[in-house]
Amino acid sequence: MDANKTVLIVDDDVLVLESIDLHLSAADGFQTICAQGSAGATSHMLNAQGIDVIVADVVLAGSMSGIDICQKAIVQYPKIAVVVITADPEVHCAEIPERGVFLRKPFGGEQLLDAIEEALKKVVR
């Protein structure tokens, strides 16, 4: 990556948040913000400056799904890259935002980095 990217990670599972945060913190070029659930994500989106990437689980506690959060993020940050993650076998990639990249749990650190890179390429800069 040529510059630091700020990544908002959204999941209900603290272990998943910590795992993704650990992978991205170990990789060059990423600053992370962790948000637990849809309320946490909404709060961070209101208060954060310049989020470049959102990595969001589909199934979240609260009134919004991860897909809803991603749609809201796209409106607020038109150049945001989107990675949608899920362990739910009923969710399919056709349900995610057009610019999004779909990643099924469990996944490894390299798969996550590849998904983020692919999502960044989809964003019109």
Q: What is the DSSP letter of 93?
A: G
Q: Read off the pLDDT band of 34 (50, 70, 90).
A: very high
Q: What CA–CA distance (Å, rounded) separates 6 from 38?
A: 18
Q: Read off the pLDDT band of 92 (50, 70, 90).
A: low
Q: Read off the pLDDT band of 2 (50, 70, 90).
A: low
Name the pTM for this structure.
Answer: 0.92
Q: What CA–CA distance (Å, rounded) separates 33 from 49?
A: 11
Tokens 């992978």: give the residue.
23
Q: Which CATH class is domain 5-122?
A: alpha beta
What is the reported pLDDT for 124? 64
What is the reported pLDDT for 48? 79
Task: Reply yes or no on whether the pLDDT at 28 is more than 80.
Answer: yes
At 88, give phi and psi (nearest 5°): -75, 115
What is the reported pLDDT for 98? 84
Tens of pLDDT along 98-122?
889 999 999 999 999 999 999 999 9
What is the reported pLDDT for 50? 86
